[in-house]
Structure 1
Amino acid sequence: MSQAQHSSIRNRLLKALSQDDFALLQPHLQLITTELRQPLIPSNTPVKQLFFPEVGFSSITTQGSGGRVETGLIGREGLIGAWPILLGSDRTPHDQFVQNAGEMLVITTEALCAAISRSASLHKLLLRFIQVQITQTSQTAYVNASQTIDVRLARWLLMCHDRIDGDDIRITHDFLSLMLGTQRSSTTLAVQALEGHRLIKAQRGKITILDRETMEQVADDGYGLPEAEYARLIEGA
């Protein structure tokens, strides 16, 4: 299998690396095809591999007596599994799985840690990504605690839209309710509200974004902070 070339990489975090830092990772990157709901990082289990999404994205979820709720999304802007490894642990209490199928570049934890030990600039950039993830998680907590389901739905759809090509998001109402931590009936009403304003089109197993600009207005300050932090810390580095 030929090695991934920096010029053809779609993952934005890898593209932000210097040529020298990318060269440290390049021999260890293996392209894999992912499937919907495929487990990537099981909770409370040593992280053996990390994933740079090229196409598609993953969900980070937490499980409790009240059910499963999504606390984060990672797509081609980032690295799945990095949080515990970069902060000196070997596992996480959260599950991470494929939310939108596609392709990912996988690297072993051992290889990534060896590369980090050789490059302070690589380590610094990956830690900056962790700050972006912390910002996203904090923003999710803020939105879930203070905003209506319509705002939460608009924000979530925008975040998904950021991580795909095109305007079609593959999702069922049942699974959308799980990700938002709401009853299916409430999710359905929120979908119908956005559809009534011609912001989206809902079909069986699919939601199509029709008017992103107005969706951002609906999401208001619920959307944009982690995205701005990414631009500042990663793309502006």
Structure 2
Amino acid sequence: MSQPQQTSLRNRLLRALSPEDFAQLQPHLEPTTFQLREVVITPNAPVDEIMFIESGMVSISTAHDERQIEVGLIGNEGLVGAVPVALDCVTTPHVYFVQLSGEALSIGREPLCAAMRESPILRRLLLRYVNTVIVQITQTAYAHASLSLEARLARWLLMCHDRTDGDELVLTHEFLSMMLGVQRAGVTLAIQNLEGAGRIKAKRRRIKVLDRDKLLALTNGSYGTPEAEYARLIEGA
């Protein structure tokens, strides 16, 4: 099987690597796929394989009893498992599961850590990425504590829209209620209100973004900071 070439990749983090750093990782990158609801990192278990996402989305969630709430979202801008691996923690209390099926390039923890030891520039870039994940998580905490359900849903739809091709998102009310930590009836009402204002168009298992600016106007500053940090620290590095 031919090795992936940096210029043909969709993962923005891999594309931001120097050619020398990518060459260190290239022999260890293995194409893989992941399916809806698949758990790709189990809480408190060693993170041995991590994934540079090419398409699809993975949620970082916290779970207590039977409640599960999303605290972070990873798409083709990122690396699933970067936080525990780059910080040398080995495990994480969070669950990482697939929100939208897709493709990725998988790499073992050991070859990635070896490459980070060899290249301070690679280590710095991955730690900068970890910082953007932390910023996203803190913005999510602010959103959950301070914003209305409609505003939180608007922010979340914008984040999903950033990580998918086109304007149509494959989402169910059940899944949205789990991610936002509310009852399904509340999500249904919030979707109806966003649709009534011309921000989205809801279909069965799908939501189409009609007006990003109208969604953005609802978010009260909770959207945009992690995205700006990524552009500054990763793509401007």
- 1:66-85 to 2 correspondences below 5 Å: 67-85=67-85
AA matched with 2:83: W
Displacement after TM superposition at 1:185 (Å): 1.1
AA matched with 2:57: F
Q: Is the counterpart of residue 21 in structure 1 residue 21 in structure 2?
A: yes
Which residue is 1:227 aligned to?
227
Aligned equivalents of 2:8, 2:162: Cα separation in 1: 19
Structure 1 unpaired stretches of 5+:
none
The Cα offsets for residues 183-226 of structure 1, whole Å up to 9 and x where unpaired, read as: 11111111001000111111111111111121111223011010
AA matched with 2:27: P
- 1:1-237 to 2 correspondences below 5 Å: 1-65=1-65, 67-237=67-237
Identity of aligned residues (%): 54
AA matched with 1:123: R
TM-score computed with the length of structure 2 as normaliser: 0.98
CA RMSD of aligned residues (A): 0.9
Displacement after TM superposition at 1:66 (Å): 6.3
Displacement after TM superposition at 1:65 (Å): 3.2
SS at match of 2:79: coil
Aligned equivalents of 2:134, 2:33: Cα separation in 1: 28
Displacement after TM superposition at 1:69 (Å): 0.5
Task: Give the paired residue count.
Answer: 237
The Cα offsets for residues 18-50 of structure 1, whole Å up to 9 and x where unpaired, read as: 000110101110111221111111111000100
AA matched with 1:64: H
AA matched with 1:232: R
Deviating more after overlay: 7-16 vs 198-207 = 198-207
Structure 2 unpaired stretches of 5+:
none
Aligned equivalents of 2:30, 2:220: Cα separation in 1: 39
Displacement after TM superposition at 1:85 (Å): 1.2
AA matched with 2:131: Q
